[in-house]
Amino acid sequence: MKTLHISIDQKKISYEIDFLENFSELHSRILSEIAGRNHVFVTDENVFEKTNFFTNIPKEKIVILPAGEEYKNWESITKILDKSFEMCLDRSSVVIAIGGGVIGDMSGFASRIFMRGVPVIQVPTTLLSMVDSSVGGKTGIDTKHGKNLIGAFHQPEKVLCCKQFLQTLEFVELQNGLSEMVKHGILGSEDHFKHLENFSEKFKENFLEKNNRIEIENAVFSLVPESVSIKKNIVQQDEQEKGVRGFLNLGHTYGHAMELLSNFEIPHGIGVAKGIWQSVIESEKRGILQNDIDKKRIENVFSNFNISLENPFSLKEIEEAMVHDKKKKDGKIRLILVKKIGEVEYGNL
């Protein structure tokens, strides 16, 4: 079993991210992490129905929320808090979030505010949440004012990534996660990008052409720790996003705007890929991108993952949609620009 260690020195917090093969391993790990403490599980209808994971868990200990970004709201938080009161949780208890980013963010937020803080264990079930949202402690909900504008930092006590969840994912969910992994390569590691580039050739041949899913799941899961460790290194330096953590928003300023304009028809990871591409084009225009080969490599890797980089909206529409985004500094909309694969810098729109 692979393990990564993350330490947030400012808060004297550290935790482990473990990479597990299957549900039986995950079950026993969760039991040993609970270690006799009072607890509740939080999940969504999709995860509950699509996996046999909850078979032996008493139903009264599970909060099952409706699935989807549109339910990332106060009502769902209230359901988690109500269940926590009903089950008599206190600060010595633990909440276990089993789901994608929406479930992880809401469980993290609810456990941050329940009795001023209960520990949370994150068990990400999508590739996207394995490589991104389960690590780093950003939690929150959406409101009519925008995505994730209400929230708090609440680092998990533990993150358990289990390969078997990849079997439950639709194709687009693999693409969503792959986009964020490519993002990590572009912003912080030419080596990781190179590994994804090699993997993308395999993906095209084995998955898109031969539909050889198991091989692809094994290969992608073997790249997850490397991707997570790029994020981990950034979060360790800057938990509260006062400096380098903002680089993790590469592609997100454009991406969030496109998600919003499409009424969330464009899924998050695909929006990020399109957003990265807009940032690359902008970086080239401003003379920041150092060479054309990197642009071609980025285009090629997304194309091998069958992710379209086309932007269906005008720049005017996108700029208007960006106004509510958190990614502003001193009232200006902040962009992440690409110098080369492995290096980015801040810029303003």
Binding region for ligand GLY (CB under 6 A):
132, 136, 138, 245, 248
CB of 238 to ligand GLY, least distance (A): 9
The yes-or-no answer on residue 334 being catalytic is no
Specify the residue for token string 């989807």: 68
Q: Report the residue number, 216 or 224, with the smaller CB distance to ligand GLY.
A: 224
The yes-or-no answer on residue 300 being catalytic is no
Considering the candidates 147, 158, 256, 297, report the single residue annotated as catalytic.
256
Q: Report the residue number, 112 or 245, with the smaller CB distance to ligand GLY.
A: 245
CB of 278 to ligand GLY, least distance (A): 18
The yes-or-no answer on residue 138 being catalytic is yes
Considering the candidates 79, 147, 252, 334, report the single residue annotated as catalytic.
252
The yes-or-no answer on residue 231 being catalytic is yes
The yes-or-no answer on residue 268 being catalytic is yes
By the 10 Å C-beta count (0-12 exposed, 13-18 middle, 19+ buried), 327 is classed as middle
In contact, 53 and 98? CB cutoff 8 Å:
yes
Considering the candidates 249, 259, 282, 295, report the single residue annotated as catalytic.
249
Q: Which residue is nearest to ligand GLY (CB)?
A: 248
Q: Report the residue number, 39 or 245, with the smaller CB distance to ligand GLY.
A: 245
Considering the candidates 173, 217, 241, 259, report the single residue annotated as catalytic.
241
The yes-or-no answer on residue 56 being catalytic is no
Q: Nearest-CA neighbor of 272 among 107, 131, 108, 73?
A: 131
In contact, 141 and 181? CB cutoff 8 Å:
no
CB of 232 to ligand GLY, least distance (A): 11
The yes-or-no answer on residue 61 being catalytic is no
The yes-or-no answer on residue 316 being catalytic is no
CB of 248 to ligand GLY, least distance (A): 4
Considering the candidates 83, 112, 138, 147, report the single residue annotated as catalytic.
138
Q: Report the residue number, 132 or 217, with the smaller CB distance to ligand GLY.
A: 132
Considering the candidates 79, 147, 192, 231, report the single residue annotated as catalytic.
231
Q: Report the residue number, 29 or 256, with the smaller CB distance to ligand GLY.
A: 256
Q: Report the residue number, 138 or 334, with the smaller CB distance to ligand GLY.
A: 138
Distance CA 12, CA 235 (A): 13
β pairing state of 94-99 and 39-44: parallel
The yes-or-no answer on residue 22 being catalytic is no
CB of 321 to ligand GLY, least distance (A): 19
Q: Report the residue number, 204 or 326, with the smaller CB distance to ligand GLY.
A: 326
CB of 246 to ligand GLY, least distance (A): 8
CB of 228 to ligand GLY, least distance (A): 11
Considering the candidates 116, 144, 145, 242, report the single residue annotated as catalytic.
116
Active site residues: 116, 138, 180, 231, 241, 245, 249, 252, 256, 268
